[in-house]
Amino acid sequence: MLKISAFSKLTRVSVKTLRFYDNLGLLKPAVVDENNGYRYYTEEQLLTVKRIVALKEQGFTLEQIKPLLEKNVVPKAVKNQLTDKKKELEQAIHAAQNQLNEIDRRLTRMEESEEHYHNPPATIRYVKPQLTASIRDTIPRTQLCLMLDEISQYVRSYGEDEGRLLTILWHDFGSMNSDPVDIEVALPLTKNIPSNGRVKVGILPELKAAASLVHHCNPYLNSCPAVTELMSWISSQNFVYSEKEPVREIYLTSDKDMYGTLRLAELLVPIEYT
């Protein structure tokens, strides 16, 4: 007979765990001293511990292991439990693989975003026309997220990827910091989908010349320092802001790729040459 401390060393299972197994009825001591409550185990019970360890390695919980240790367990019951566990593990592997694939996709998108941003100065660039689904409304700034979610759900309902670069169009740029704001949100499409009374599907026109500044934006703030920076740069280059098209802000980081409070964005201000 072995005291619990000696049995613990032999089995390499902690005394605390052995007591837990006892409380569960998974591994009862061979003898419990009525006077002092000391637990004693036999050497043969080492086999039971090995069986518990092996079943845990197969993914069984202690509750699932308990009936497998019974004297009268029948092979069919064991086979059924093994089959169920196999299915459970296959589902877990499938779920884990999906999670790995999603992490790989996010890493790829992060690398693509990093290519857009290397502390670049402001530049002038052409913006090509794009088929989009968009919603325009005059709303309190706090409701912008609701509009973004609304357009995302709409394009998703037609099988389009809502994770594409989302564009915000500020139709009243002079009052960009006012509230409410005349604003439009647009998502690029790969095919024509129906419009409705709220969502317009059409071509977002080209910008022949736009001042561009890629920056880290905090979408939780009501104002963006990049606006002041880019407008100052436009003035220094002897350009002027063109009011023929609204100022655009393109989110280069999707909602689900945001970590922390910053996302990569591109500010586009249409310009004219003086």
Per-residue pLDDT, averaged over 25-48, amounts to 92
Q: What is the CATH number of the domain that holds 65?
A: 1.10.1660.10
Say if residue 150 is exposed, middle or buried (CB neighbours under 10 Å; 0-12, 13-18, 19+): middle
Which segments within 67-188 are labelled E, that is strand? 123-127, 130-139, 166-170, 181-188
Kindly report, residue by residue over 17-35, the tens digit of the pLDDT.
999 999 999 999 999 988 8
Query: Does residue 158 share a domain with residue 47?
Result: no
Number of domains the chain is built from: 2
Residues 66 and 142 in one domain: no
Of 142, 268, 259, nearest to 212 (Cα)?
Answer: 268
DSSP designation for 28:
-
Same domain, 38 and 154: no
pLDDT of residue 226: 86
Q: Residue 165: what pLDDT?
A: 85
Predicted confidence at residue 259, as pLDDT, reads 74
Burial class (CB in 10 A: 0-12, 13-18, 19+), 141: middle
Choose among 248, 219, 252, 226: nearest CA to 144. 219
CATH number at residue 213: 3.20.80.10
Q: What is the pLDDT of residue 84?
A: 92
* Mean pLDDT within 29-50: 92
What gap in Å lies between CA 270 and CA 247, rounded to an integer?
6
> What is the per-residue pLDDT for 46?
94
Whether 19 is in a domain gets the answer yes
Query: Is the same domain home to 243 and 147?
Result: yes
Closest among 76, 47, 52 to 64, alpha carbons compared: 52
Q: Is residue 80 part of a domain?
A: no
Residue with tokens 């095919």: 191
Give the separation between CA 147 and CA 163, rounded to whole angstroms: 15
Q: Which domain holds residue 6?
A: 2-73
User: Given 58, 73, 88, which residue is the final one in a domain?
Assistant: 73
145 and 254 together in one domain: yes
Output the average pLDDT for the chain: 88
% of the chain with per-residue pLDDT over 90: 59
In tens, the pLDDT along 103-136 reads: 888 787 777 666 655 556 799 999 999 999 999 9
Question: Which whole number is the average pLDDT over 56-81?
Answer: 89
Q: Tell me whether residue 94 is in a domain.
A: no
113 assigned to some structural domain: no
| pLDDT, tens only, 205-254 | 999 999 999 888 877 676 778 888 999 999 999 899 998 899 999 988 77
pLDDT over 70 (residue 6): yes
On whether both 137 and 255 belong to a single domain, the answer is yes
Q: Residue 15: is its pLDDT beyond 60?
A: yes
Residue of 168, 162, 210, 160 lying closest to 186 (CA atoms): 168
Residue 107 covered by a domain = no
Please check whether residues 245 and 171 belong to one and the same domain. yes
pTM greater than 0.75? no
Specify the pLDDT at position 158: 94
Residue 63 shares a structural domain with residue 132: no
Domain identity same for 130 and 188: yes
99 lies in some domain = no
Domain boundary among 48, 73, 98: 73
CB 250, CB 130: distance < 8 Å:
no
Task: Report how far apart, in Å, the C-alpha atoms of 109 and of each of 45, 56, 152, 153, 257 are.
Answer: 55, 38, 18, 21, 8
> Would you say residue 260 lies in a domain?
yes
Give per-residue pLDDT as tens, 156-184: 999 998 777 899 999 987 655 677 889 99
Burial (Cβ within 10 Å: 0-12, 13-18, ≥19) of residue 211: buried
Rg from Cα positions in the chain: 32
Residue 115 in domain: no
